[in-house]
Amino acid sequence: MKMIFRYDFNLENGTVHNKVPMIDTSAEKGLPDGMTIDADDNLWVAFWQGQSVLQYNPKTGRVMNRIAVPAVIPSSCCFGGGGLHNLFITSSRKYDTDENITRFPESGGLFSYRPRVKGVPMNYFNEL
């Protein structure tokens, strides 16, 4: 089973606890990798070797949006640009096959998608 888990975060000491299954991605091609959230608290997940980024409702686990990426290995995603209206998607070619890179020459590139929702500002991590 390919599961995305939710954790409680202790801001005072920087620890996580209370691991809870949140979204089962077993039916999807590839493995869940980098992810971000939008202003509506939905989760966007890049699928390594899955050629896609999916938007999930984290309360129901339902797929709300599916973005086809012109690379076999999308690696992560984040919101940026003016007003955080663009979803930027990174991809890898380092671990891909020559055949896939020939079929998808933009592999390893950065892609931009404009969803109907905006992102939220990033939280920065400071080592304790």
The residues annotated as belonging to the active site are 33
Residue type, 74: P
**Long-range contacts of the stretch 35-41 (C-beta < 8 A, 24+):** 35/4, 35/76, 35/77, 36/76, 36/77, 36/78, 36/79, 36/87, 36/119, 37/119, 37/120, 38/79, 38/115, 38/117, 38/118, 38/119, 38/120, 39/84, 39/117, 39/118, 39/119, 39/120, 40/117
